[in-house]
Amino acid sequence: MLNILSLNSGSSSCKAQLYEMPSQRVLCSAVFERIGLSEGIAKLSFNNQTLTLNQDFKTHHDAILTLLNNLIQNKIIESYDDISAVGHRVVHGGEKYSKSVIIDQKVVTDILALSALAPLHNPANHLGIMVTSELIPNATQVAVFDTAFHQTLKPQVYLYPIPRSFYQKHKVRKYGFHGTSHRYVSARALEALDNPQAKIIVCHLGNGASLAAIDAGKCVNTSMGFTPLAGIMMGTRSGDIDPSIIPFVQKALHLNSDDALEVFNKESGLLGVSGISSDMRDIQKAMDEGHPDAILAIDMYVERIGMLIASYIAQLKGCDAIVFTAGVGENATFIRERVIAYLTPVFNVKIDTQLNKKRGEFLDLTLDGSSMKVYVIPTNEELMIALDTYQLIA
């Protein structure tokens, strides 16, 4: 048995799960928020209880040290050396990494170099690596890249119709994100279908959202692009828009480029259209009350998802299963129903609307006579990280 820590370090947050492998038993889950800010908070769950800490965590070092000490105090581990490896979520692996790797100095250097492509994420991911390397020096450190799963895209898919020098000199191309989730969920779908050659479309619908077209376990297209701003409409992100809108808005509102991007990343999407919230629960409530902008936001959201699924069915030359996952995909039952209703007239895909009222669990929603399966499969990126880490060290 090996204890493996899955770690997702953000700029002011840190999420962790400690697994006993290969049994996949979760020994502890932890979330630290507002690191480096006032009014920090942490929640640690273990032994069927949850411990809440309201205290300031000045650095990620403080947060991770607090986690490790609580693991010892609550007799989950006896010493830091009981953790055999730490698997780190790393958002951007560029073109260099198509699979998870054991971290050495070259990998660390590459992660930092790729910060230009993911300035909000890679530096924070690197910080988590540095802290755990210091605190748990005998543990093997592993990098699991969000972009790796999408490295099977063909050039006609990942290249943009812009001057080739942009790619050749600056690596401007589609990378795709949420890869760890897409890989985990599609693998579960292949198992459910009992067909390793199946064609699957995964809809990872959370506050950030992306779709992936997957053929026999390999990604052939995905909706996010050079950055996570591309693709479908999201909680606060616009998704795909005419690029001329950005300089137009800059001039009209007297914004610099960073401020303009802030608008399209954090003030657009469901929030921007509804004027209410980026949270689907709030928008659904307003929609049910007849709020016209909430109704419009949902119509736009469903339209964009439905159109992209249809295009992926064409690209895959068929589809064996559509899968919904992540916060909205697993819990917003009305979104699932409306997306499938959008597709039904052309693709004859049918779901059990009564069964669809369930949420947050594995569901086969398919009705007899449907042209393809429809699943709800809860994602588990932390487990995927632990599995990759275990395979590299076992």
Can you say how many angstroms the Cα of residue 264 is from the centroid of all Cα atoms in its chain? Answer: 19
Q: How would you classify the pairing of strands 41-46 and 321-325?
A: unpaired
Query: Which of 12, 147, 148, 15 has its CA nearest to residue 86?
Result: 15
Query: Is 390:4 a contact under the CB 8 Å cutoff?
Result: yes
Write down the catalytic residue from 62, 104, 146, 215.
Answer: 146
**What is the spatial distance between Cα 231 and Cα 339, in angstroms, rounded to a whole number?**
16
Report d(CA 246, CA 263) in Å as an integer: 9
Annotation marks residue 62 as catalytic: no
Q: Please check whether residue 140 is in contact with residue 2, taking contact to mean a CB–CB distance below 8 angstroms.
A: no
Residue 352 vs residues 309, 346, 355: alpha-carbon distances, Å:
19, 18, 5
Residues, the chain, total?
A: 394
Paired tokens of 83 = 């953790």
**Residue that has been written with the tokens 């610099």 in this structure:** 256
User: Any alpha helices (H) in 54-150, and if so which ranges?
Assistant: 60-73, 105-113, 122-135
| CB contact at 8 A, 181 and 204 | yes
Distance between CA atoms of 111 and 347, rounded to whole angstroms?
43
Residues annotated as catalytic are 146
